[in-house]
Structure 1
Amino acid sequence: MTGKTAQKITLWEFFQQLGKTFMLPVALLSFCGIMLGIGSSLSSRDVITLLPFLGHPILQAIFIWMSKIGSFAFSFLPVMFCIAIPLGLAREDKGVAAFSGFVGYAVMNLAVNFWLSTQGILPTSDVAVLKAHNVQNVLGIQSIDTGILGAVIAGIIIWRLHERFHTLRLPDALAFFGGTRSVPIVTSVVMGVIGLLIPLVWPWFALGISGLGHIIESAGEFGPMIFGTGERLLLPFGLQHILVALIRFTEAGGTMDVCGHTVNGALTIFQAQLSCPDTHGFSESATRFLSQGKMPAFLGGLPGAALAMYHCARPENRHKIKGLMISGVIACVVGGTTEPIEFLFLFVAPALYLIHALLTGLGFTTMAVLGVTIGNTDGNIIDFIVFGVLHGMATKWYLVPLAAAIWFVVYYALFRFAIKHFNLKTPGREADVTDSAESASTSTPGKSGYDVPALLNALGGAANIDTLDNCITRLRLSVKEMSRVNVDALKANRAIGVIKVNDHNLQVVIGPQVQSVKDEMAQLMSSTRETAAVDAG
Structure 2
Amino acid sequence: MKKTKAALWEFLQGLGKTFMLPVALLAFCGIMLGVGSSLSSERVAEQLPFLKGEVFHLVFTWMANTGLVAFKFLPVMFAMAIPLGLAREDKGVAAFSGFVGFASLNLAVNFFLTAKGVDFEDEKVIAHYGIADVLGVKSIDTGLLGAVAVGIVVAVLHRRFRTQRMPDALAFFGGLRFVPIVSALVLSLVGLLIPLVWPALNSGITAVGRGIGHAGVFGPFFFGMGEVLLRPIGLHHILVAMFRFTDVGGSGMVCGEQVSGALNLFYSQLGCKAAPTGEVTTATHFLSQGKMAVYLGGLPGAALAMYHCANKKMRPEIKALLVSGVVACVVGGITEPLEFLFLFIAPWLYLIHAVLVGLGFLVAAVLGIFIGNTDGNVIDWLVFGVLQGTTTKWYLVPVIAAIWFAGYYFLFRWAIVRFDLKTPGREEPAAEESAEESAEDAPSGELVAGKYDPVAILAAIGGHANITSLDNCITRLRMTVEDAALVDEARLKKLGAVGVVKLDAHNVQVIIGPQVQSVKDAIAKLAPVG
TM over 0.5: yes
Distance (Å, rounded) in 2 between the aligned partners of 1:511 and 1:7: 30
Contact 2:333/2:377, CA 8 A, preserved across alignment: yes
Partner residue of 2:381? 384
Secondary structure of the residue aligned to 1:391 is coil
Can you list the C-alpha shifts for 1:487-527, whole angstroms capped at 9, x where unaligned?
A: 1110001100000111122100000000000001111224x
Q: Does 1:156 align with 2:152?
A: yes
- Range 329-338 or range 273-282, more displaced: 273-282
Q: Could you say what secondary structure the match of 2:501 adopts?
A: strand
Partner of 1:65: 62
1:446 aligns with 2:453: no
Equivalent runs, 1:301-320 vs 2, <5 Å: 301-320=298-317
CA–CA distance in structure 2, aligned partners of residues 438 and 351 of structure 1: 36
The alpha-carbon distance between structure 1 residues 169 and 8, as it changes in their structure 2 partners (threshold 3 A), is farther
**What one-letter code is carried by the residue in structure 1 that aligns with 2:253?**
D
Q: CA deviation at 1:281?
A: 8.5
Identify if the C-alpha distance between structure 1 residues 179 and 263 changes in structure 2 by more than 3 Å, giving closer, same or farther. Answer: same
Post-superposition shift, 1:130?
2.6
- Contact map agreement 2:108 2:192 (CA 8 A) in 1: yes
- Which residue pairs with 2:53 in the alignment? 56
Once the 2 structures are TM-superposed, how far is the Cα of residue 189 of structure 1 from its aligned partner? 0.8
Specify the SS of the correspondent of 2:300.
Answer: helix
2:408 is the alignment partner of 1:406 = no
Equivalent of residue 457 in structure 1, options 449, 456, 459: 459
Deviates more, 1:319-328 or 1:173-182: 173-182
Q: Which of 206, 210, 213 pairs up with 2:209?
A: 213
1:19 matches 2:16: yes
Do the aligned residues in 2 keep the contact of 1:281 with 1:395 (CA within 8 Å)?
no
Larger deviation: 336-345 or 450-459? 450-459
- State the 1:127 CA deviation: 4.3
Q: Which amino acid aligns with 1:422?
A: F
Give deviations 1:96-153, integer Å, cap 9, x for gaps.
110000000001000000111011114x434454334311100000001101111111
Distance 1:128 1:259, change over 3 A: farther
Of 264, 273, 277 in structure 2, the residue corresponding to residue 277 of structure 1 is 273
Does residue 233 (structure 1) correspond to residue 229 (structure 2)? The answer is yes
- CA drift of 1:435 comes to 5.8
Partner SS, residue 136 of structure 1: strand
The alpha-carbon deviation at position 15 of structure 1 amounts to 1.3
* Separation in structure 2 between the aligned mates of residue 169 and residue 479 of structure 1, nearest angstrom: 31
Report the 3-state secondary structure (helix = DSSP H, G, I; strand = E; otherwise coil) of the residue aligned with 2:291.
helix
Conserved 8 A contact 2:129-2:199: no
1:118 maps to 2:95:
no
Q: Which runs of 5+ in 2 are unaligned?
A: none
CA distance in 2, matches of 1:142, 1:438: 67
Helix, strand or coil for the counterpart of 2:426? coil
Counterpart secondary structure, 1:316: coil
Q: Structure 1: 5+ residue runs without aligned partners?
A: 1-5, 530-537
Deviations 1:197-246 (A, max 9, x none): 00001112212211221221121111100000000000000000111011
For residue 465 of structure 2, what is the amino acid of its counterpart?
A
Cα deviation for residue 393 of structure 1 reads 0.3
Q: Which residue identity lines up with residue 222 of structure 2 in the other structure?
A: I
Question: Is 1:355 matched up with 2:357?
Answer: no
Give SS of 2:442's match. coil
Does the CA-based 8 Å contact 2:6-2:506 persist in structure 1? no
- Which digits, 9 at most, give the CA deviation of each residue in 1:64-103, with x for residues without a partner? 0000100000000000000000110112111111000000
Mapping 1:84-233, distance limit 5 Å: 84-122=81-119, 124-233=120-229
Give the whole-Å Cα distance in 2 for the aligned partners of 1:456 and 1:440: 13
Instruction: Quote the Cα distance in structure 1 between the aligned partners of 2:57 and 2:432.
Output: 59
Matched residue, 1:372: 369
SS at match of 1:105: helix
CA distance in 2, matches of 1:510, 1:445: 17
Q: Which moved more, 1:9-18 or 1:84-93?
A: 9-18
Q: Shift of the alpha carbon at 1:431?
A: 1.5
Contact 2:40 2:60 in 1 (8 A): yes
Q: What amino acid is the match of 1:446?
A: L
Letter in 1 for 2:140: I
The AA in structure 2 aligned to 1:479 is V
Contact 1:439 1:489 in 2 (8 A): no
**Partner letter of residue 252 of structure 1?**
V
* 1:58 maps to amino acid: V
Tell me the equivalent position of 1:533: none
Q: Distance in 1 between matches of 2:4 and 2:392?
A: 50
Say whether the 8 Å CA contact 1:304–1:409 is kept in structure 2.
Answer: yes
In structure 1, C-alpha distance between the alignment counterparts of 2:485 and 2:379, rounded to whole Å: 43
Equivalent residue of 2:138, what SS?
A: strand
C-alpha separation in 2, matches of 1:408 and 1:296: 8
Instruction: Give the paired residue count.
Output: 521
Residues 56, 525 of structure 1: CA spacing in aligned structure 2 closer, same or farther, 3 A cutoff? same
Partners of 1:512 and 1:281 in 2: how far apart? 37
Contact 1:258 1:276 in 2 (8 A): yes
1:39, CA displacement in angstroms? 0.1
422, 426, 437: which one aligns with 1:425: 422
Counterpart of 1:368 in 2: which secondary structure? Answer: helix
Q: TM-score, normalised by structure 2?
A: 0.95
Distance in 2 (CA, whole Å) between partners of 1:522 and 1:188 is: 33
Tell me, yes or no, if the aligned pair for 1:344 and 1:497 is still in contact at 8 Å. yes
Tell me, yes or no, if the aligned pair for 1:281 and 1:394 is still in contact at 8 Å.
no
Q: Does the CA-based 8 Å contact 1:441-1:451 persist in structure 2?
A: no
Q: Is the 8 A contact 2:302 2:412 kept in 1?
A: yes
Q: TM-score, normalised by structure 1?
A: 0.94
Percent identity of equivalent pairs: 60
Q: Distance in 2 between matches of 1:435 and 1:187?
A: 61
Shift of 1:463: 2.1
Q: Distance in 1 between matches of 2:316 and 2:19?
A: 38
Q: What secondary structure sits across from 1:431 in the alignment? A: coil
CA distance in structure 2 between the partners assigned to 1:83 and 1:26 by the alignment: 13
Residues 299-308 or 44-53, more deviating: 44-53
Give the whole-Å Cα distance in 2 for the aligned partners of 1:363 and 1:79. Answer: 33
Query: Distance in 2 between the 1:40 and 1:438 partners?
Result: 56
Q: What is the CA distance between 1:445 and its match in structure 2?
A: 4.6
Distance verdict in 2 for CA 1:139–1:524, change over 3 Å: same
| More divergent stretch after superposition (157-166 vs 418-427) | 157-166
User: Are residue 514 (structure 1) and residue 516 (structure 2) matched?
Assistant: yes
Q: Deviations over 1:371-401 (max 9, x none)?
A: 1000100000000000000000000000000
C-alpha distance in 1 between matches for 2:190 and 2:359: 42
1:71-86 equivalences under 5 Å are 71-86=68-83
SS of alignment partner, residue 142 of structure 1: strand
